[in-house]
Chains A and B, each alone.
Chain A
Amino acid sequence: MNSKETKERERSSLLPAGFLVLVMLPLMLLPLAAVFLFALEEGPRMFLAALVTRDALFSLRFSLIIAFLTAAINLVLGTFAAFVLSKTRFPGRHQLGIILNLPVAIPTVVVGTSLLLLWGPIGIIGKMLDPLGIQPMFTVFGVLLAHIFVTFPYMVGAVKPVLDDLPITYEEAAITMGATRWQTFYHVVFPALRGGMITGALLAFAHSLGEFGATVMVSGNLRLRTQTAPLYIFSQFESGNLAAANSVAAILAVLSFVLFSLILYWTAQSGSRKVRQG
């Protein structure tokens, strides 16, 4: 009876599910498939050959390093920001929260432009640094700065709701039992935040990996120096080198897919844990 009902329900769900796939085909699935089709068009050997060029390998490695550093720095910065926004009370707290989330709303190209206008050779601070021989833009530092800026809200967004939901009495319970502030954070707050921190770090990593708009402005797109994988794809595509562009694009797509699967897995895990804890 039960299995019959389940089958019936499955059958009736087929139509909307099929419709969804049909709509999503030209939107998401086909373009993604096209990348792989083009990448593997001339066989796996050509795909590998396009991938192991010095420029392609550099761009992939550079992107991964930048994404890792971005995630690591934002893990600390974002968690700290979430902690300040959630657990302290000061005038202008809400306004600060909005400002910290602005990078999500501002087009990334604008972020890149504003960074240039501040740190660039003619920028407000950059102008003063230039005579000292310090040039933060068009360097690794500039790319990292842009990526931290752009992905920062994702980290805060993943950690702050967890902190908001954590009743203050958990910390107070630890304190009355004799725990210092640090012990309370380490034993009580941190374990509760772990899921949110991992999700946030993965989100920051994934966004950094695919970041284009801000990077193209601040990096100068210098090959073998500041060229990230998305910039490499764009450059190769522009110069008509489709095979090179597609091979790196395919690798990026796979990496993103794996990362988002991990994020979804972690979110589901912490969600089900929450349900179990009632």
Chain B
Amino acid sequence: MAICMAGISKWFGKNQVVKELSLRVADGEFLVLLGASGSGKSTVLRMVAGLTMPDTGQILLNGMDITRTKPQERGFGYVFQNYSIFPHMTVAENIAFGLKIRKKNPAERRERVENLLHLVGMEGLGERYAGQLSGGQLQRVALARSLAYDPKVLLLDEPFGALDAKIRVQLRHSVRNIVREIGVTTIMVTHDQDEAFEMADRIAVLNQGRIEQVGGASDIYYNPTTCFTANFVGDMNMFEGTVTGSDTENCEIGLSGGVRIRRRGKHPFLPGQRVLYGVRPEQMRVSLLEPASHENGIPGVIENCLFLGRTSQYGIRLSDRRLLSVCLLNYLFMDGMTVPYEMNEEVWLIWSQGAGIILAHGEISVGPTAFEMEPEGRRQGFEG
């Protein structure tokens, strides 16, 4: 069923945690609310569930106003971050709880529990107690329990937050498949970008109680419309600059360091306009040769390197003293060297003119690059 949030707000004391938020989730859609802690994402989910009452605005279920409807009467499924599996009940009793409340007969309950245990891959574990299960199993029980009474909407509050990395990845796949198979409208809250990208049909990026952007994963990643989204979802190297030349298909920008770059594609910017230009670290490459005419390039000196195994992250000092971050796959292996470039080597940073984003220069200042945000202790020098 479709859920519509229309201008909902929530104050906790003098602090407004959700600010006139409007969002529509289509029937059968998997929407992820992505935001840092304190962004208000869990409060939004709790308001949809009816566990927290919005101070203003409406929540509609298939067009019906459910803002004041009790959580008991909404018929939604909710998976809590700590799973909240009742410790004095067996797995089967936990899953059957919603059915028992709905006064379904025992035979029907048993059959449904069996089906759900099969669905979440926990056949034969129905008689266990929460204390006898692993974190991943608890999570599966929580999911099965919330699906038992065919919820109109499924709400997942950081459902993988308490699991270790490997199990988290496995469970993401299985939860995504289960939810897709059932076709239930789902809203999931997470701070984990990978999780959001992997599971969502659409992602809503939340910042300080407001939606920054809603869209598909690639849209959010490659076409962020705000500086916050650009920096929060993945890393972004940001430059300040002024549009120096523009036609319908190209935008030329003079960066503050004096370098001119070009961005192909339609754009709304006019010459003389102050803009922010951003490019992802992995869209750049490092070269000893100058860029070709169809490429953008900026000269710099390699200052440090972080060897990450599959990739290396380079810190490159530009002529305007800024340190830029570039992420490269370690496809080149040279004997005796961890990375193929040397400290203080003069290089070109080169990227496609089809890459990068341009944002109107508002009040927002350019944040530090991802590389500069790395803790000092993790930086490595060159070896060999």
A residues lining the B interface (CB < 8 Å): 167, 169-170, 172-180, 183, 187-188, 191-192, 273, 275-278
Contact = CB atoms under 8 A, between A and B. Distances in A.
Given A276-B132, A277-B87, 19 more contacts: A173-B145, A174-B86, A174-B97, A176-B50, A176-B71, A176-B146, A177-B97, A177-B146, A178-B73, A178-B75, A178-B98, A179-B72, A179-B97, A183-B101, A191-B88, A192-B88, A276-B129, A276-B131, A277-B130
Interface residues of B, number: 29
Most buried by B among A173, A177, A277: A177
Contacts of A191: 86, 88
B187 to A, nearest CB: 13
Given A169-B82, A277-B87, A178 B72 contact: yes
Nearest to A179: B101
Contacts of A187: 86, 97
Contacts of A192: 87-88
B254 interface: no
A275 B131 CA distance: 8
A201 to B, nearest CB: 19
Contacts of B81: 169
Contacts of A172: 51, 71, 78, 80, 84
B281 interface: no
Contacts of B97: 174, 177, 179, 187
A278 B84 contact: no
Describe B's contact surface by its main secondary structure.
mixed
Contacts of B74: 176
Q: Could you tell me the dominant secondary structure of chain A's interface residues?
A: helix
Contacts of A179: 72, 97, 101
Nearest to B72: A178
B42 to A, nearest CB: 11
A145 B163 CA distance: 52
B129 A175 contact: no
Contacts of B101: 177-179, 183
Interface string B62-78: 00000000011111111
11 contacts: A173-B84, A175-B71, A177-B77, A178-B101, A180-B72, A183-B101, A187-B86, A191-B88, A275-B131, A277-B131, A278-B131
B310 interface: no
